Every structure is written in structure tokens, then in C-alpha cells.
Amino acid sequence: MARTPGRSCPRHYRYSPAVFARAADLEAQSLYIVGGLYGNPFALEAVLAMARRESATLVFNGDFNWFNVDPAEFESVNETVLQHAALRGNVETEIAGEDEGAGCGCAYPEWVGDAEVERSNEILGRLRETASAYPEMRARFAVLPMHLVAEIGGLRVGIVHGDAESLAGWGFSQEALREGPGRARALLAGAGVDVFACTHTCLPVMQEFSTLRGAALIVNNGAAGMPNFRDTRFGLATRIASAPSTQALYGTRLGKWVVEAVPVRYDHEAWIARFDRFWPAGSPASLSYRRRIASGPDYEMEQAVRTGAPAGALSRVA
Ligand SMILES: [Fe+2]
């Protein structure tokens, strides 16, 4: 079968859910998991400050590059991110390699239109041009892992970019989880983790499951570097800790731990000005993303919360 750039899931993106049944790669007291920074330097500043305040461990689970086609910005975002634990997303994987056949590597499902897929391939092309001047950085991306197991006081967290089987999988998207939770439940049980923390699919979701191991959770932060809900101007990160955050938008308890969605409140005006400078009206990124960056996607917080706890409940307890 011919590969359509941006639609396919390259074979080297795949892994078995059984890979998560291993000793933890990382132990932490508290964790911030930051997916989909998309090259927003102001969101990066914000998450660094959030983690610093709590002495929390930061994990960047991929796609920390996207809009940062300016060489200086490309360099500074990556130099900062790579001082922390990081996974490669499809963006880092594609700019590390030479093969253009996968396009942006997003493995977009059919509900994403052809024009949008084509524009993503064009954005990736621009970013690839910038990255070509940084062979050492590309070599660092190439050796980043595709998944990581973190442990927080006995809570096992599988951290991925896509889903339990692929770097660019859409199995943990809000759309797929709404259609049928059976597959996700089986993956959680088979992987031997209590939480899967993911990103990649653009929209956030937090969904609870009961498995043979007990209560389990899939938490997708959507994007740290772009708004995730209608009429909002902040990104989202996933926080896992022993005590709730007063900042959390929604969250749930899992044993002694809380898993929350926390806002990444970056300088919106500065970010949109920076975005417009490198992606003016008519450019592929402007056509695909400017509306979302200006005022959020067509998605409500209530749609993302699929747990027993209503939005804000945990932060009110704190
Ligand atoms: Fe991605």
C-alpha cells in the first residue's frame, strides 16, 4: 500500500504495550508532563516556573518543536527542553531523520481533512529546513526514547507521545476514547501501569477506567503551547503529585495521588506576535492554527472531564 505523507504510521513508530511492564526509568515526588509545547517559548518559560515552584520533575513528552522555525528560537527551545527528561514526538522523530515519506508523522485519522494534513506536511518541511543546520541537535532527538515509565511513591505512570502501541497513535484521543473504552481498558491492564499520560492528538481528555489492577486513568494534556478550550488563552500540562494544586482545572484522585490538568498561563500577546512574525496570514501554520491560538478550539472543558470528580473539585478540596 502506498504511503500518504501525514496519514501513515511508520513501522518504527510502533511498540508493544508489554514494554511498560518494566522497572521505572524515573522516580519522582511530583511530576509535570508537558506535551505539545509546539515551539512556544513563552509556554516553556511558564512550565519551567511552575515546576521550579514545587521542585517537581518535568517530562516533555514530545512535539516540543513545531512553530519554531526561526533558528535562534529552534536552538534555545531545544537546549532548554533537553536539560529535562524528554521523549521524542513525531515532530522530533521526523526532523531527526532524512526520510520525507511520513510527512509530519502525525498518522492523522480520517476525521482530519486532507488540506490540514497537507499544511502539516508543509510546516514540517519548513522546520526540517531549520533543523538541517543543527546536526548535533538532530542526533540528540534520534536517541530520545519513545516511552518512559515513571513511579511516584508506588503509582506507575506510562508516559507516551501517542498511545500504548505507537508514537503517533490516536487510541488515546478524546474521539477514540468516546467511541469505545474497551480497547483502552485492555491496554491499561496489559501494560501494568496505573496511568497513561499522553498528548499528540490536539485535544485534552481525562478518562477513568476500572481494570483488574484497580482504578486507572488515561490523561491527555492536549497542548501545552496552545489553547485547548473555547475562548481560552492558556495551554495545559498534566500534574501528578501527593497534594492537589490550587491552580488545577480538573483532576481526580488515584489512591494517595492526584492527577490534574493545570493551565500553562503564558504571555498570550507576546506569543501571538511571535507566531505572526514567522507564520503570516496565508501561511500553512496561520491557516491551520491561528484561530486556535487566538481563541481556542471548538471544545469545552466539560467534554474533557470523564471522571467521577467534576471540574475544579480537587482544587476546592485543597
Ligand atoms: Fe504529535
Q: What is the 135 CA–ligand 1 centroid distance (Å)?
A: 21
Q: What is the 21 CA–ligand 1 centroid distance (Å)?
A: 24
Q: What is the 35 CA–ligand 1 centroid distance (Å)?
A: 9
Phi, psi of 83 (to 5 degrees): -80, -5
99 compared with 278, residue with greater pLDDT: 278
Q: Is 11 exposed, middle or buried (0-12, 13-18, 19+ CB in 10 A)?
A: exposed
Q: What is the 303 CA–ligand 1 centroid distance (Å)?
A: 21
Q: What is the 28 CA–ligand 1 centroid distance (Å)?
A: 25
Residues with CB under 5 A from ligand 1 (ion): 63, 89-90, 200
Query: Would you place residue 316 in the very low, low, confident or very high pLDDT band (cuts 50, 70, 90)?
Result: very low
Query: Would you place residue 313 in the very low, low, confident or very high pLDDT band (cuts 50, 70, 90)?
Result: low
Query: Is it the case that residue 226 has pLDDT exceeding 50?
Result: yes
Closest listed residue to residue 212, CA positions, set 239, 238, 227, 191 = 191
Residues 6+ apart with CB under 8 A from 285: 67, 119, 123, 275, 278, 279
Q: Is 143 exposed, middle or buried (0-12, 13-18, 19+ CB in 10 A)?
A: exposed
Query: Is it the case that residue 315 has pLDDT exceeding 50?
Result: no
Tell me how far apart the alpha carbons of residues 130 and 137 are, in angstroms, rounded to a whole number.
11
Q: What is the 316 CA–ligand 1 centroid distance (Å)?
A: 33
Q: How many helices (H) and strands (E) does the chain have?
A: 11, 13
Query: Is it the case that residue 215 has pLDDT exceeding 50?
Result: yes
Average pLDDT taken over every residue of the chain:
93
Three cell numbers, residue 280: 503570516
pLDDT confidence of residue 189: 84
Q: What is the 119 CA–ligand 1 centroid distance (Å)?
A: 15
276 compared with 97, residue with greater pLDDT: 276
pLDDT confidence of residue 230: 98
List, for residues 31-90, the tens digit of each pLDDT value: 999 999 999 999 999 999 999 999 999 999 999 999 999 999 999 999 999 999 999 999
Tell me how far apart the alpha carbons of residues 78 and 8 are, in angstroms, rounded to a whole number.
26
Q: What is the 161 CA–ligand 1 centroid distance (Å)?
A: 7
pLDDT confidence of residue 314: 60
Three cell numbers, residue 221: 494534556
Query: Would you place residue 310 in the very low, low, confident or very high pLDDT band (cuts 50, 70, 90)?
Result: low
Q: What is the 312 CA–ligand 1 centroid distance (Å)?
A: 28
List, for residues 141-158, the tens digit of each pLDDT value: 999 999 999 999 999 999
For residue 208, what are the β-bridge partners? 217
**Contact between 221 and 181 (Cβ < 8 Å):** no
Closest listed residue to residue 141, CA positions, set 98, 91, 88 = 88
